[in-house]
Amino acid sequence: MEFGFSEDQLLLQQTVRDFLAGECTPEWVRGQWQTETGRSPEFWSQLSELGLPGLLVSETQGGLGMDETDLVLLMEEIGRVGLAEPLTATAVGVGLLRSLGDASLADAWLPKVAAGDAILAVAHPASPFVADAHVADLLIASDGDSLHALPRAALRLEAQTSNDGSQRLFRVDFDARDETRIATGREARALEAAALDRGALCSAAQALGACDQLIALAADYAGQREQFGVAIGSFQAVKHMLADVRVKLEYARSHVYRAANSVANDATGRSVDVSMAKIAACEAALLAGRVSLQVHGAIGYTYEQDVHVWMKRAWSLDLAFGDAVFHRARLAAGVIDRSLPAESFGYSHPQRVPTPTAGLG
Amino acid sequence: MEFGFSEDQLLLQQTVRDFLAGECTPEWVRGQWQTETGRSPEFWSQLSELGLPGLLVSETQGGLGMDETDLVLLMEEIGRVGLAEPLTATAVGVGLLRSLGDASLADAWLPKVAAGDAILAVAHPASPFVADAHVADLLIASDGDSLHALPRAALRLEAQTSNDGSQRLFRVDFDARDETRIATGREARALEAAALDRGALCSAAQALGACDQLIALAADYAGQREQFGVAIGSFQAVKHMLADVRVKLEYARSHVYRAANSVANDATGRSVDVSMAKIAACEAALLAGRVSLQVHGAIGYTYEQDVHVWMKRAWSLDLAFGDAVFHRARLAAGVIDRSLPAESFGYSHPQRVPTPTAGLG
Amino acid sequence: MDLTYTPEQDAFRKEARAWLEANVPAAPLPSFDIAEGFEAHRAWEKKLHAGGYAMVPWPVEYGGRGSDLLEWLVFEEEYYRAGAPGRVNQNGIFLLGPTIMEVGTPEQKARFLPKMASSEEVWAQGWSEPNAGSDMAAIQSTAIRDGDHYVINGQKTWASRGAYAHWLFGLFRTDPDSTRHKGLSFILSPLDLPGITVRPIQKINGKAAFAEVFFDDVRVPAENLLGEEGAGWNVAMATAGFERGLMLRSPARFQSTAARLVDLYHATVERGDPVAPGMRDRVARCWMDAEAYTLNTYQTVTRLLSGGKIGAEASLNKIFWSELDIEIHEAALELLGPRAELDPRSPAAGDAGSWLDGYIFALSGPIYAGTNQIQRNIIAERLLGLPRK
Amino acid sequence: MDLTYTPEQDAFRKEARAWLEANVPAAPLPSFDIAEGFEAHRAWEKKLHAGGYAMVPWPVEYGGRGSDLLEWLVFEEEYYRAGAPGRVNQNGIFLLGPTIMEVGTPEQKARFLPKMASSEEVWAQGWSEPNAGSDMAAIQSTAIRDGDHYVINGQKTWASRGAYAHWLFGLFRTDPDSTRHKGLSFILSPLDLPGITVRPIQKINGKAAFAEVFFDDVRVPAENLLGEEGAGWNVAMATAGFERGLMLRSPARFQSTAARLVDLYHATVERGDPVAPGMRDRVARCWMDAEAYTLNTYQTVTRLLSGGKIGAEASLNKIFWSELDIEIHEAALELLGPRAELDPRSPAAGDAGSWLDGYIFALSGPIYAGTNQIQRNIIAERLLGLPRK
């Protein structure tokens, strides 16, 4: 039992953080909003040099051979800078290809992913819109029963405009053919479920980063901005709003890290663990957006200030890979209908235990 | 259109407030907790001299001939001092007897009520426990289909102990007989529904008073208590907690006053109006209890300090005449299922109106 | 207490409804935060004016209808019922207009009110400055008397409607040696004078809702001083009272938004889209709170009609409507699910409509007209008697 | 990261479960806030001690089991699973014990720890004074050195377990000319010395959870000074860190309460009693938050085991568990409906059980061990770097 990260893991996180802080400034992110695809092949190359797209790809296929406990730390950094390159889409795609019974697709694609030469994406019915489908070289989607692996040319995309300039969403249509089919029935559903969980986990981890950044922006501003002759950060109202967000972030992080472990090990409670992570992290990030805006006041409400960059990320991450309604329903189904409490972390609940009526304290 | 009270109404409220401030101190209220019935015949006489039990009784029967818009102002004062004499029970009983097709019961009992010589109570299935049944001379209860008017001797009472020493609750059982039957079927249900609304309205108005008192106690204490060299009321955390309660109180009051008018005039939306009043007022009082406790800190958590007197009133008022679950369900049934919005106060909503997408501001 | 409308009020409602049904534009106007939309909204204001509905509670002599506040509420109910356009002239109707009526000279009333009523002149607010937001007494812009002019220097910001408006009202420091609330004066300035630079500010959805206005030796005639020189703070507080207290957010606005939320709930359920089990109660609660706001406004109007004043209670109001607005919109966005983030023109947006824009607008509620933190201070200190320090 | 238990941890769990199943009293003990219950709980503590489970994380030499914090968590999970009694000796186990181990002399360790472990001596807290609540540095009680004794005068209040405990620990001002955090010392005092008066204080449900303790020229031997004279504040902060940070509220407490809430939800639904549509999500959320608290504690323990410290993060903890406790109990009370207010012995109480008592206890959570307002200040200033003034 050890609930923490290794020094190597934390070092890689720091490396990525430093890299992104230098490269992926708010100006750069906002610049991407103006481009047609919103995605930068040059930047993708740089990310590939760091190994990020191939993080989950085995070392023999040219990847880093790491797992989701490594990935979440980096996804936090991605969220911290508000980056929206198709790292989530690719991670989800890699996870799915790795799990196919037939290794040929993985053998064909994963080395290319690790080399930065291919982008993957997976569609899931919980989200009617697929992010980054326009830049995916291979997209995996269901026809209702079977999963199909579809090269870009086989897709018909209908672009949707998100309020978040970083988010590029598409409705996807295609003709299912025998030669694109990669899994059917039960196997297809299991793969799809795992893909959703991996995508939701990545979104949750990014939400942690966005939350942290929104707190940092507000704390920084509150320490500088003076009204009534003092820094507004000295007012309890400001302190307490931010402290409440910090509390939420702390406990959301615990859920996300545990969910990462559950996804990496395909643990029994994986889906519920992921839903808890998604709910907690997105809620923290959404609250951070509101509080950060309130602390900034009118200046935060302007387009030129950067608060909205992360606030909009929080909004779109909340909707990605299952919205809050979806994940709360899945949580309740786990806790209430299947009486998961008996499997609660460490603690196991006997049926209708007698409760001590005395000795609270 | 005039949404306010007359000078006479406000004068009567002030008179009652002054009277209660002198007589019904916290010490007196707590003294009553220790007595067997928790009720004082002497004090009931004094209340009768003010006309309170007979407020809804017509002048020809010796009452004040007023309506619920007068009553709520006085119920606020009752709540402000945390008084629990059977004024609500009696008001509900008077309302019911007045509405019976056959006037003989009203003729027999209402003059006695107005004179302070009889106490009434009404049982309603929404609340399994009947407050003040032990001191009621006549209790009206349903056998499932018919309503029966039952003298005390016909009742079997099982006392329940409430956490609120002021609240005396009973489970009531009786043998239904032909001679006790006063209404059946549809009429019985309508009478019962009106009784519930009148009781819920009285409880809501008392909750307003309790809320106001809890705010006042906390504001007073916060102005005196010093920590870190200043009055704790100068801390924004304390100010903002109390301000939030004050906001809730303000808008709860609007609901209660409107509901009083709806009950007095048996308005179309009466039950939903009452549910909104009950929800809003009890929520405000419950929040006031928590905030007042927090502002007082440890001293407020002691039995000897008075905060808990009102906090417990808030808890028991919240459960009286339909708890929050009951009233929220009734509200939702009104708003969602019967699409009440078309009848919203003043505003009438056309079916699926086109909305301006521009010009917010 | 009498919660029924008089026959006269009912008749007025019928008349207003008929006029609005005949005149409200069938298609929504473009946003008044873009130039084209500004003019379209101004044209609508002129039409309202021609119909006699532009300034319902203003005296007839200034271009109003001479209605009392109850009739104004009735009109607003019908206005929102009709889905009529937002009021680009709001700063004039509800803020500056009443202030001029209260403290203006006869000449000022004659000069400004009719053109305000007809929307010939649209007004921007000029309260905030970069270093004077919540702390409005920190205003630094100066207006120094020079003969029969004031010479204005400084910078105003968050001037709502500022990008396209013709005039600006605001506080300026006429005594350069003064500090805080003293030495301020309430001055009206055209926005086309030499030395004025207007820089539009985009809000987070990219629309130019406000402007920064720079004053560089701008000469404004002395007759544009509203109220006494040096008494600007009190004049402004009266204006802020109107803003927070009553007229800025008429109840019908929230009643109509809550009613649309009920519609959206039904549409979502009917379509079979996922809805959280608690959403039913949440929608009902939004409706209930809009009702509370309405009832409270009718109470306030009753009090005002019998000679009462709006005091610190305005702060209760400000907090309640601003938080309610966010509640309603957050419920709507949850109902929309994954479509919540879409631009309404996206092919898959369906009935997502303007909820996201409305939410973004709602988010400004707890900030402007005095942050809700400032309002809570006011409530605690002035209504509950807690110590200032 | 490895979220599985070692075979040793699994074995320890099995062993603890077996012992608890064999030894936990079948019927609940009377409240330890009444004299009879206090003794019954003390007897239970002695039984725990005899079984080797009283002080799981303490070294064996002081009467503990020598377990690490992970085994302690496992034990707590089993303890709550078994529905075992509350720990009347909590002040000793989790607060004073670790403090003595950190700063006590060898003689103090030998003198106090074994009797604490065996519950021969039960300890009360003596932090607060009437004028020193949230502002603990305002302590006025004095302990003036006189030869080989301290002479104590003053008043302590909210001494938890104070009504029946044998000893009290707390801060006293040894330098009477000092102010605030300086000149305070951490002193251990028997409660049966001449000059001490103990007045029980009832909490809002009428039970004597605390006491006021009056000191009137009480002579305490100088060897009862813990840590250096004048260094009391730092010693106390270490103790408060234990209290807020980790050991006061073991996760299993909330996991078991949340699991009971799930049971109550099912029972209510099965009985056909009304349940709000949103309650399903609300119950699930309580369970989720208890899980978060558990996970976070395992993270903290992992950090501590590799040499980390609990710092201002303890304040995050305190806020989270205290609010969670209230959330869970409020959900339960709503499920109980009209029975929520009943004393469990009322004929109609049914399965209302101890939820109301639990709620009343939970309400003290945001107040004691430093109010949540103080904790938010700490978070803002120490974790987020906001200015103190």
DSSP H or E stretch at residue B226: strand B226-227
Q: Tally C-beta pairs within 8 A across B and D.
A: 110
DSSP H or E stretch at residue D221: strand D210-221
CA angle D50, A345, D64 (to 5 degrees): 20
Is A278:A331 a contact under the CB 8 Å cutoff? no
DSSP H or E stretch at residue A258: helix A236-264
For the stretch B38-69, pLDDT in tens is: 999 999 999 999 999 999 999 999 999 999 99
CA distance D349 to D357: 13
Closest CA to D218 of D187, D249, D181, D242: D187
Over the Cα atoms of chain B, what is R_g? 21
Q: Average pLDDT for residues B100-121, to the nearest whole number? A: 96
D173 and D258 together in one domain:
no
Q: Is D50 contained in some domain? A: yes
Closest CA to D79 of A100, D71, C264, B294: D71
Q: Could you give the count of Cα atoms lying within 13 Å of A90 in the half-sphere of its Cβ?
A: 31
For the stretch A166-220, pLDDT in tens is: 999 999 999 999 999 999 999 999 999 999 999 999 999 999 999 999 999 999 9
Bridge partners of A94, per DSSP, are: none
Which residue of chain A is at minimal alpha-carbon distance from C200? A302
Is D318:D378 a contact under the CB 8 Å cutoff? no
Strands B155-161 and B168-174: antiparallel
Could you confirm whether D77 is annotated as catalytic? no
CA distance C294 to C257: 13
Is A9:A72 a contact under the CB 8 Å cutoff? no
Phi/psi region, residue A322 (left: phi>0; alpha: psi -120 to 50; beta: rest), is: left
Which band of pLDDT confidence, cut at 50, 70 and 90, is reported for residue B354?
very low
Is D336:B315 a contact under the CB 8 Å cutoff? no
pTM: 0.96
Q: Which of D88, D109, D139 is the last residue of a domain?
A: D88
DSSP H or E stretch at residue D226: strand D225-226
| Maximum pairwise Cα distance, chain C | 72
Is C221:C105 a contact under the CB 8 Å cutoff? no
Written as one string, the DSSP assignment of D230-252 is: TBHHHHHHHHHHHHHHTSSS-HH
C255 and C367 together in one domain:
yes
The CATH number that applies at residue D300 is 1.20.140.10
CATH dotted code for A187-344 = 1.20.140.10
Most D CBs within 10 A among C275, C281, C285, C389, hence the mutation to make, goes to C281
CA angle C58, C59, C64 (to 5 degrees): 55
Q: How far is B315 from chain C (nearest CA, A)?
A: 21
For the stretch B229-252, pLDDT in tens is: 999 999 999 999 999 999 999 999
Q: Is C240 contained in some domain? A: no
Residue A351: burial class (beta carbons within 10 Å; 0-12, 13-18, 19+) = exposed
Chain B residues touching residue C344 (CB < 8 angstroms): 357
Token reading at A89: 């889409």
Cβ contact D340–B315 (<8 Å): yes
CA distance B255 to B281: 8
Cβ contact C277–D280 (<8 Å): yes
Q: How far is B161 from chain D (nearest CA, A)?
A: 5
Q: Tally C-beta pairs within 8 A across C and D.
A: 18
At A297, is the secondary structure helix, strand, or coil? helix
Chain C residues touching residue B234 (CB < 8 angstroms): 386-389
Q: Is C360 contained in some domain? A: yes
DSSP H or E stretch at residue B169: strand B168-174
Interior/surface letters A74-98, b for 16+ CB within 10 angstroms, e for the rest: bbbbbbbbbbbbbbbbbbbbbbbbb
Determine the pLDDT at residue A361: 42
Strands C142-146 and C149-156: antiparallel
For the stretch A274-305, pLDDT in tens is: 999 999 999 999 999 999 999 999 999 999 99
If you search the block for the tokens 């009786």, which residue do you land on? B174
Q: Where are the domains of chain A?
A: 187-344
Domain range enclosing C33: 7-88
Listed in order, strand segments (DSSP E) in C147-190 are 149-156, 167-173, 184-190
Token reading at B204: 């809501």
Q: Is the pLDDT of residue A358 over 50?
A: no
Chain B residues touching residue D367 (CB < 8 angstroms): 293-294, 297-298, 301
CA distances from B186 to B97, B125, B175, C89 (A): 16, 15, 21, 55
Q: Average pLDDT for residues C230-256, to the nearest whole number? A: 81
Chain C residues touching residue A316 (CB < 8 angstroms): 341
Counting other chains too, the contacts that C263-272 makes at CB distance below 8 Å and 24 or more residues apart are: C263/B352, C264/C332, C264/C335, C264/C336, C264/C351, C264/C355, C265/B336, C265/C335, C266/B336, C267/C351, C268/C335, C268/C336
For the stretch C41-53, pLDDT in tens is: 999 999 999 999 9
Chain A residues touching residue D293 (CB < 8 angstroms): 251
CA distance D360 to D205: 7
Q: Is the pLDDT of residue C241 over 80?
A: no
Q: Could you give the count of Cα atoms lying within 13 Å of C311 in the half-sphere of its Cβ?
A: 7
Token reading at B67: 């309506």
For the stretch C27-83, pLDDT in tens is: 989 989 889 999 999 999 999 999 999 999 999 999 999 999 999 999 999 999 999
Tell me the one-letter amino acid at D341. E
If you search the block for the tokens 């909204």, which residue do you land on? C41
D33 and D158 together in one domain:
no
Strands A226-227 and B120-122: unpaired
C345 and C256 together in one domain:
yes
Which band of pLDDT confidence, cut at 50, 70 and 90, is reported for residue C244?
low
Instruction: Return mean pLDDT, chain B.
Output: 94
Q: Identify residues of C whose CB sits under 8 angstroms from chain A CBs.
A: 128, 131, 133-135, 138, 157-158, 201-206, 210, 274-276, 334, 337-343, 345-349, 356, 363-364, 366-368, 371-373, 376
Closest CA to D284 of D310, D305, D265, D312: D265
For the stretch D103-144, pLDDT in tens is: 999 999 999 999 999 999 999 999 899 999 888 899 999 999
Task: Kindly report which listed range (B335-339, D103-107, D289-293) carries the lowest average pLDDT score.
Answer: B335-339
Which residue of chain B is at minimal alpha-carbon distance from D180? B228
Strands A168-174 and A155-161: antiparallel
At C213, is the secondary structure helix, strand, or coil? strand
Written as one string, the DSSP assignment of C335-389 is: HHGGGGGB-TTSTT-GGGTTHHHHHHHHHTTTTSSS-HHHHHHHIIIIIS-----
Is any Cβ of chain C less than 8 angstroms from the Cβ of A25?
no
Is B167:B86 a contact under the CB 8 Å cutoff? no
Crossing angle of helices D35-51 and D7-23, rounded to 10°: 140
The number of folded domains in chain C is 3
CA distance A335 to A325: 15
The CATH number that applies at residue D200 is 2.40.110.10
D379 and D253 together in one domain:
yes
C285 and C312 together in one domain:
yes
At A160, is the secondary structure helix, strand, or coil? strand
For the stretch A303-351, pLDDT in tens is: 999 999 999 999 999 999 999 999 999 999 999 987 555 567 889 888 6
Residue C217 CB neighbours (<10 A): 11
Q: Which of C196, C230, C264 is the last residue of a domain?
A: C230
